[in-house]
């Protein structure tokens, strides 16, 4: 049984005004950090869903699979579908869906999400349940049916969850980035 990681990195970063995937903390881009943590958590394959060709080399150098989402304009659901289709082709028994803009994520937290490999499990923070989140293969059809920019929010409603308030910081603005640098730079 192998659990794949799907790193959603095809967003436009409109609020930030520049690609958040390339922002550096400790001489490592947010995308490279997400790939490293997914690998450290033991997920295989690690699949990064991208918008630009520019990021492919960095992802592949880390041993991950880089997929270009040609329909990223449709919203987050298109990236989830792209990643799940790839994970299914690798016969993954489940997937952890994560973003690259949550610097508080750890490999230990990612592994903990998969403790019950039959249960959808999300991350609890800021009074909600969200990503990173684990989805067993039995939920792949539901993930492939997602549309728009809402992601898997409905599938996580009432799901098992693991608390991690550090995930509440996601980088959407320059202020968020400065906060992340202050918290995570060594």
The token pair at 175 is: 């202020």
Q: Which of the 8 DSSP states describes residue 30? A: H
**Would you say residue 60 lies in a domain?**
yes
**30-67 pLDDT per residue, tens:** 999 999 999 999 999 999 999 988 899 999 999 999 99
**Ramachandran angles phi, psi of 55, nearest 5°:** -95, -5
Report pLDDT for 14: 83
Report pLDDT for 65: 98
Q: Residue 1: pLDDT above 90?
A: no
**129-180 pLDDT per residue, tens:** 999 999 999 999 999 999 988 889 999 999 999 999 999 999 999 999 999 9
Report pLDDT for 186: 81
Using pLDDT thresholds of 50, 70 and 90, give the confidence band for residue 12.
confident
**Would you say residue 28 lies in a domain?**
yes
Alpha helices in 63-160 (DSSP H): 76-89, 107-112, 140-144, 153-156
Mean pLDDT score, 76-85: 96
Q: Could you count the other beta carbons within 10 Å of the beta carbon of residue 177?
A: 21
**Would you say residue 186 lies in a domain?**
no
SS (H, E, C) the chain: CCEEEEEEECCCCCCCCCCHHHCEECCEEHHHHHHHHHHHCCCCCEEEEECCHHHHHHHHHCCCEEEECCCHHHCHHHHHHHHHHHHHHCCCCEEEEEECCCCCCCHHHHHHCCCCCCCCEEEEECCEEEEEEEEEHHHHHHHHCCCCCCCCHHHHCCCEEEECHHHHCCCCCHHHHHHHHHHHCC
Report pLDDT for 91: 97
CATH number of 71's domain? 3.90.550.10
Radius of gyration of the chain (CA): 15
Q: Residue 6: pLDDT above 90?
A: yes
Question: Which residue segment(s) compose the domain that 143 sits in?
Answer: 3-181
**Would you say residue 62 lies in a domain?**
yes
The answer to whether 76 and 12 have CB atoms below 8 angstroms apart is: no
Count of the separate structural domains present in the chain? 1
Between 15 and 125, whose confidence is greater?
125
d(CA 118, CA 173): 36
**Would you say residue 121 lies in a domain?**
yes
């Amino acid at each position: 049984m192998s659990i794949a990681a799907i790193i959603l990195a095809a967003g436009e970063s409109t609020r930030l005004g520049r690609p958040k995937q390339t922002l550096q903390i400790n001489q490592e881009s947010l995308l490279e950090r997400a790939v490293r943590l997914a690998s450290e958590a033991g997920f295989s394959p690690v699949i990064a869903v991208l918008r630009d060709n520019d990021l492919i080399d960095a992802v592949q150098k880390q041993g991950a699979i880089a997929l270009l989402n040609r329909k990223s304009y449709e919203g987050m659901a298109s990236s989830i579908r792209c990643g799940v289709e790839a994970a299914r082709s690798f016969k993954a028994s489940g997937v952890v869906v994560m973003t690259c803009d949550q610097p508080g994520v750890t490999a230990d937290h990612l592994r903990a999400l998969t403790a019950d490999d039959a249960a959808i499990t999300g991350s609890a923070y800021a009074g909600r349940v969200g990503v990173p989140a684990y989805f067993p293969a039995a939920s792949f059809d539901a993930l492939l049916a997602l549309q728009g920019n809402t992601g898997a929010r409905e599938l996580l409603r009432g799901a098992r969850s693991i608390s991690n308030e550090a995930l509440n910081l996601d980088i959407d603005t320059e202020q968020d980035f400065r906060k992340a640098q202050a918290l995570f730079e060594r």
